[in-house]
Chains A and B, each alone.
Chain A
Amino acid sequence: MGPMDPVEPDQDLVAIGLLREPVRRALYGYVASRDGEVGRNEAAEAVGVQRGLAAFHLDKLVDAGLLDASFRRLGERRGPGAGRPAKLYRRAAREVAASLPPRAYQTAAHLLAEAVEQAGAEPALYDSARRGGEAAARQAAGAGPPAVERLLAARGYEPYPDGQALRLRNCPFATVAHEFPVVACGMNLAFVEGLLAGLGADGVSASMDPAPGRCCVAIHGLAEASKNNND
């Protein structure tokens, strides 16, 4: 299914509904929070349930399309007697979304992105994004450098430290960014710059620093600025 295809509401609604169950939700949350694959035992221990129960829930999440599963030999041995390959889980690559009443914001985003590109209106979009980031930051709790990571996490960016930088694991605009990277990533950078300005996070800056499998923006100066804030 592509982003312009009509939404299948029932399938995704059912999948999201499965997360009602607290243990299942905790297991999903744990696997989703890890960067990479997770085995049943690790997930069971992290959540505090028996392995069998964890496997039951994890497999239900795979069936619903919320997790992807793969098999990998964890040890060195091969051939007969080497033991079964381990089943590993990761957050599903496919986006699962449901809106009631039905909404098609992805379709709108694609059409708008194409129009911006055709019209060469990126500067206007980036200005709008910067103002939008400032507005979003002003509505958020907290201010200054200490509030940066919390606000980015609240907005779904999944920040993580990488040396002196703060990087973002999740791209909130993923499908649009895949089709219109310059429009979407430029918009994203401007939006994050706006967030930082709106928080009054002096000494903290954002730059474009993409790599496969992560958001294009990196945050710099956070450690230093937080230290200065505390002095």
Chain B
Amino acid sequence: MPERTAHHLAQVNIALPRAPVDSTELADFMALLDPINLLADHSPGFVWRLQTESGNATEIRPFDDDRLMVNLSVWASLEALRNFVYSTRHLDVMRRRREWFHRLAEAYLTLWWLPAGTLPTIDEAKDRLAHLQRHGPGPDAFTFRDPFPPPGASRRAGAARPLLAG
């Protein structure tokens, strides 16, 4: 029986498109946006994602460089997000990202824990990303490859499943 979690996982990533969103270069990506967002919405553990009335977040440009796009979402667990990102059709979008987006020199994706039932603001997301870029992964901002447990996680969390099924 899964433990009731007091925390959800927030995720932010930034992206720098090679061309404007209405260009032919970005056409394939823009065509994939709605189906992939729909897939996210229906994925196990999905809680929320940032969007405007367009149904996506591509119009939101929160940085000084207004070409930079942002993606912000909340999930019930790290595994739920990992599953969506890497074990669904979303993986192919990741594989093809260079067709549409520049490579960024610094960290472009950050994860962090927030109290279940709360939502992150864009400003908080920017702070968490800056924290990761400055300090590397830690309890306040981390990555898939260097994850940290939620605050106050019991020692039993992550323990191996016992041999005898309940």
Q: Interface code A63-104, partner B: CB below 8 Å = 1, 0 otherwise?
A: 000000111100000000000010000000000000000000
Q: Are A69 and B163 interface neighbours, CB within 8 A?
A: yes
Taking CB atoms and an 8 Å cut-off, the chain A residues in 173-231 that contact chain B are 179, 181-182, 185-186, 189, 207-212, 216
Q: Are A123 and B86 interface neighbours, CB within 8 A?
A: no
Known: A70-B165, A179-B145. A185 touches B95 (CB 8 A): yes
A188 smallest CB distance to B (angstroms): 10
Task: Count contacts between A and B, CB distance < 8 Å.
Answer: 43
B132 smallest CB distance to A (angstroms): 16
**Interface presence of B98 (CB below 8 A):** yes
Q: How many residues of A contact B (CB 8 A)?
A: 21
Nearest B-chain residue to A211, judged by Cβ? B87
**Interface presence of A172 (CB below 8 A):** no
Q: Are B91 and A85 interface neighbours, CB within 8 A?
A: no
B16 smallest CB distance to A (angstroms): 13
**Interface presence of A120 (CB below 8 A):** yes
Q: Are B86 and A210 interface neighbours, CB within 8 A?
A: yes
Q: Are B86 and A85 interface neighbours, CB within 8 A?
A: no
A179 surroundings in chain B (CB, below 8 A): 145
Question: Of B83, B92, B95, which is in contact with the most chain A CB atoms at under 10 Å from its CB?
Answer: B95
A71 surroundings in chain B (CB, below 8 A): 163-165
**Interface presence of A158 (CB below 8 A):** no
In the bound assembly, the distance between CA atoms of A181 and B91 in angstroms comes to: 8
B87 surroundings in chain A (CB, below 8 A): 210-212
Known: A71-B164, A181-B86. A208 touches B98 (CB 8 A): no
In the bound assembly, the distance between CA atoms of A182 and B103 in angstroms comes to: 14
**Interface presence of A122 (CB below 8 A):** yes
A192 smallest CB distance to B (angstroms): 13
In the bound assembly, the distance between CA atoms of A107 and B94 in angstroms comes to: 24
A189 surroundings in chain B (CB, below 8 A): 95
Q: Interface code B70-92, partner A: CB below 8 Å = 1, 0 otherwise?
A: 00000000000001001111011
Q: Are A72 and B165 interface neighbours, CB within 8 A?
A: yes
A127 smallest CB distance to B (angstroms): 13
Instruction: With A186-B95, A210-B88 given, name 6 new contacts (CB 8 A).
Output: A85-B165, A120-B103, A182-B94, A185-B91, A189-B95, A209-B89
